[in-house]
Amino acid sequence: MLQPQSQLRQRFNILITLYPKRSFRVPVEAECISPDVFAEKPVKHIAMLQIWEGNRKRNLEDLFKIKHETKSSSEKSIIRICGDVSKVRKIGAKMSMGNIIVEGDAGMHLGEEMNGGGITVTGNADSWTGSMMKNGTIEVKGNAGDYIGASYRGSNQGMSGGKIIIHGNAGYEVGCFMRKGLIKVHGDIGLFAGIHMRNGTIFIQGNSGGRAGAQMINGKIVVCGYIPSILPTFTIDDIRPKVEVNGEKIEGPFYRFVGDLADGGDGKLFVSKTKNPHLSSYEQYL
């Protein structure tokens, strides 16, 4: 499937670095910042790509300083963004190849509907990161907002593949209507992790704000930290010594709950036994 031109590009690594020229106040919509869009374009065309700042149409070069480097490497094309782009939305939207590295904070809708390639953020990411994602990897070193890997309003088509890794904390309704794929949060997570989940895996190393797995139909949620309570529509199934997440074995022991029974669901919620002594009353049902 690789065409001669891309093979050529593989030998000469296309590396574009974008430096925001100033701080942004009104939202900037930058779905043009994507390896798919930059592919096979000379820099002067990339500079003229259309980008929105509020209700004004701008060119990419109006808002970003663009530096172009060609290095010999076996890596695919990379876009680097250096600076605070927390107001810049839709970076990497619909991308299917290549890499984006954000050295700073990234805005909403990062990697939305992504179909391949990878995005790395050294700072924080905002809400709707990886929403409706189909494939690829997003890694956020800092915190992330709400609705990670979620669907659009009214739709039940959330993330259907790929991986999202958040090293910091994540917000509310992470994995809403998720269908497949993996979300890993090393820090804490807000309420309603995995709400309306159809399938997939959410792994939380830290604490959960509560109501994890609400209205889930299937899938797996693992909470290694503290959770204040379990929803009354979940029932305790077993105590497991370990649980498997993406090929890795996580040490327990875990209470395994099944639910959400109100929705006829058969999802599995694993909750750390040692971090949640207040849940020991459930053991009487085993």
Partner 1 sequence: MTVITGVTCPVCGTFCDDIELVVKGNAIIDVRKACAMGAAKFLNYATHRNLKPLVRKNGELVKASIDEAVGKAAKILADATYPILYGWSNTSCEAIRVGLELAEEVGGVIDNTSTICHGPSILSVQDVGIASCTLGQLRHRADLVFYWASNPWDSHPRHIERYTMFSEGRFQKSAWRGYLSRLRAVLSRKRLLRAANLLLRRDVLAAPEIERHLPYSMFQKKRKMVVVDVRKTRTAEAADYFLQVEPNKDYELLQAFRMLVRDEELDVDEVAGIPVEVLEEVADIMVGCELGIFFFGLGLTMSEGKLRNVDAALNLTRDLNQRTKFLIMPMRGHFNVTGADVVFTWQTGYPYAVDFSRGYPRYNPGETSVIDLLHRDEADASLIVASDPVAHFPRMAAQNLVKNPLIAIDPEVTPTTLMADVVFPSAFVGIEAEGTAYRMDHVPLPLKKIVEPPKTCLPDKEILQRILHKVRKLRRNET
Partner 2 sequence: MDIAIKDGKIVEKVNVKKAEVIDASGMILMPGGVDIHCHIAGAEVNSGRLLRPEDHFKDVEVKTALTRSGVGYSIPSTFTTGYRYSRMGYTTVMNPSMPPLEARHTHEELDDTPMVDKATYPLLGDWWFVLEHLRDGLIQECAAHVAWMMSATKGYAIKIVNPGGLEAWGFGRNVENLDDPVPHFNITPREILRGLCKVNKLLNMPHTIHVHTNNLGRPGNYLTALETMKCVEDLAEEGRPAIHITHCQFCAFKGSDWRSMSSGAEEIAKYVNHHDHVTLDMGQVIFTDTTTMTADGPFQYGLYNLTGNKWVNHDVETETSSGIVPFRYKRKSAVHATQWSIGLELALLIKDPWKIYMTTDHPNGGPFTAYPKIIAWLISRVARKKTMNKISKRARQKSLLPSIDRELSFYEIAIVTRAGQAKALNLAQKGHLGIGADADVAVYNVNPEQVDPSKKYKTVRKAFKRAAYTIKGGEIVVKDGQIVKPVFGKTFWVNVKTLLPMEVNEDLRLKFREYWTVEYENYPIPDSFLHAPAPIPVKAEV
Residues near partner 2, by CB under 8 A: 151-155, 157
Size of residue set near partner 1 by CB under 8 A:
40
In the complex, least distance from residue 282 CB atom to partner 1, rounded to whole angstroms:
7
Closest CA to 54 of 88, 104, 31: 88
* Residue 88 in contact with partner 1, rule: CB under 8 A: no
Tokens 């939380």, located at residue: 204
Q: Is 27 or 206 the residue whose CB approaches partner 1 more closely?
A: 27
Q: Are 193 and 215 in contact (CB under 8 A)?
A: no
Q: Is 146 in the site for partner 1 (CB under 8 A)?
A: yes
Residue type, 162: G
Nearer to partner 1, 42 or 232 (CB): 232
Is the bond preceding residue 232 a cis peptide, omega within 30 degrees? no
Burial code of 114-126, b = ≥16 C-beta within 10 A, e = fewer? bbbbbbbbebbbb
Q: How many CB atoms lie within 10 A of CB 214?
A: 23
Among 78, 132, 212, 231, binds partner 1 (CB under 8 A): 231
Is the Cβ of residue 151 or residue 201 nearer to partner 2 in the bound state? 151
Cα separations in angstroms, 142 against 24, 115, 170, 256: 21, 23, 9, 29
User: Is residue 195 a contact point for partner 1 (CB under 8 A)?
Assistant: yes
For 50-77, b where at least 16 C-beta lie within 10 A, e where not — what string?
Answer: ebbbeeeeeebbebbeeeeeeeeeeebb
Single out the residue of 64, 147, 254, 270 in contact with partner 1 (rule: CB under 8 A).
Answer: 147
Question: In angstroms, rounded to a whole number, what is the distance separating the alpha carbons of residues 137 and 35?
Answer: 14
Please give the structure tokens belonging to residue 96: 């299917």
The window from 62-70, 112-120, 259-267, 270-278 that contacts partner 1 (CB under 8 A) reads 259-267
Which stretch, 33-41, 115-123, 145-153, 272-280, contacts partner 1 (CB under 8 A)? 145-153
Which of partner 1, partner 2, none binds 215 (CB below 5-8 Å, type-dependent)?
partner 1
Q: Which is nearer to partner 1, 98 or 149 (CB)?
A: 149
Contact flag: residue 263 with partner 1 (CB under 8 A): yes
Q: How far is CA 227 from CA 63, 187, 255, in A?
A: 44, 13, 12
Q: 84 or 113: whose CB is closer to partner 2?
A: 113
25 is an interface residue for partner 1 by CB under 8 A: yes
Is residue 11 involved in binding partner 1 (CB under 8 A)? Answer: no
Stretch that binds partner 1, among 64-72, 75-83, 162-170, 230-238 (CB under 8 A): 230-238
Considering the complex, state which of residue 133 and residue 182 has its C-beta at the smaller distance from partner 1: 133
3-state secondary structure of 240: strand
Contact 76, 28 (CB under 8 A): no
Closest to 246 measured CA to CA, from 176, 149, 181: 181
Please, what is the minimum distance in Å from the beta carbon of residue 157 to partner 2?
A: 8
Question: Applying CB under 8 A, which residues contact partner 1?
Answer: 25-27, 29, 52-56, 87, 108, 127-128, 146-147, 152-154, 156, 173, 191-192, 195-196, 211, 214-215, 229, 231-236, 260-263, 282, 285
